[in-house]
Amino acid sequence: MTVESRSAGDGPAEGGGSVVLLHVEPDARSAELLAAFADRFADRFAVRSVGRMAAALDAVDEVDCVVTEQRLSDGSGVELVERLRGRGSEVPVVFHTTCRERATEAAALDAGADAYFSKRSERGQHDCVLDRIRGLLDGEGAGNPRATTTAPDASGPSSRASLSEE
């Protein structure tokens, strides 16, 4: 599965072009939802979706940020982050996942993920994810201690963010 949401002339963020997000999501509906939201409501984002960790590892050098599900058919989001960090990639990685276990959240952040969001059915979840990505790419929180927020309306930027149900 590959879903792309790009406008004509989109390119890497360098030089003022679009920010290219790699969405690692095995569920086609979830992939289409983020791509449609970014296309309709978020300026400067282009979304490329793949369904497997192997495809993500092949494509990561061409993107500005990775958004991943934890549960992948050929591995996990935590494994993806470990492999990326192990090969020296500093691309920001944001989890947007159905996995709400605190142990998984901790493992993701310890492996080098920059934020962890649990998927929810409420309004605003994609706004929170994309706002966090904007902050990461604009340098907010770079090099600061990791912080966790536990509610979608938490205020203030943090270098590491988490939105999960209690």
Supply the CATH number for residue 134's domain: 3.40.50.2300
Per-residue confidence (pLDDT) for residue 151, from 0 to 100: 32
pTM, rounded to two decimals: 0.78
**Cα–Cα distance, 135 to 77 (Å, whole number):** 21
Per-residue confidence (pLDDT) for residue 4, from 0 to 100: 47
**Cα–Cα distance, 7 to 120 (Å, whole number):** 28
Q: What is the DSSP letter of 15?
A: G
> How confident is the prediction for the chain on average, in pLDDT?
81
Range of the domain at 38: 2-163
Total domains present in the chain: 1
C-alpha distances out from residue 148 to 83, 110, 160, Å: 23, 12, 6
Count of CB atoms within 10 A of residue 74's CB?
Answer: 14
pLDDT in tens, 105-146: 999 999 999 999 999 888 889 999 999 999 999 987 544 333
Per-residue confidence (pLDDT) for residue 16, from 0 to 100: 56
Cα radius of gyration rounded to whole Å, the chain: 14
Per-residue confidence (pLDDT) for residue 18, from 0 to 100: 87
Per-residue confidence (pLDDT) for residue 74, from 0 to 100: 97
**Cα–Cα distance, 50 to 55 (Å, whole number):** 6
Q: Which positions of the chain have pLDDT values less than 70? A: 1-16, 141-166
User: What values do phi and psi take at 29, rounded to 5?
Assistant: -65, -45
